[in-house]
Amino acid sequence: MSAYVNFYLRVNDNFAPIGSFSRSSVIYEMTNSDLPWEKMKPIRKSTLDDWVKDIETKSQHLAKMKKENEDKCAQIMTIANNPLEEKLDAVASIERDCDEINECIEECTCAINILICFDNMIDDYRYSGEEAQFENDYNHYIYAGIEVSGELENVVVDE
């Protein structure tokens, strides 16, 4: 069974879905420990910023791993004792690993862009002059939760 983290935009007393991310996604991985199950809560800008920083850290770690793998490839080719076929097999294996790392880095970049978009939505709302609807609290504009269903107005929890 796959679980999803769901994001919603609050418009007056209604909630519009703006994103749903499966358990295998970077966004789910980085957000699930902060979110309620079968409920949703308001997401602060500071929380979005923290998630972006966590994903950036993960992406930097992956880039470092990729660089280390590329360095291994160069070293393997200079080793004189091993047969050429073994060297080529080792390099091919490392290149496959690098391809997988590249995919993970791309997913991190995509996740960062999505969370920054959500952050920008809060900023747009904050500076639009519409704050009075939510008692000047722009932090209650984007909501998120895991496996949220049913009447959305009834599943909101406090921060």
β-bridge partners, 20: 6
Q: Given a cut of 80, is residue 38 above it in pLDDT?
A: yes
**What does the alpha-carbon distance between residue 143 and residue 155 come to, in Å, rounded to a whole number?**
11
DSSP state of 147: S
> Could you tell me the pLDDT band of residue 154, with boundaries at 50, 70 and 90?
low
End-to-end CA distance of the chain: 27
Is residue 159 one of the residues assigned to a domain?
no
What's the pLDDT score for residue 124?
77
**Structure tokens, 48:** 């979005």
Q: Given a cut of 70, is residue 152 above it in pLDDT?
A: no
What's the pLDDT score for residue 60?
97
Q: Given a cut of 60, is residue 84 above it in pLDDT?
A: yes
Q: Given a cut of 60, is residue 134 above it in pLDDT?
A: no
143: closest CA among 9, 2, 12?
9
What's the pLDDT score for residue 150?
61
What's the pLDDT score for residue 114?
96
Can you give the residue range of the structural domain that contains 34?
4-154
Count up the domains in the chain and report the number. Answer: 1
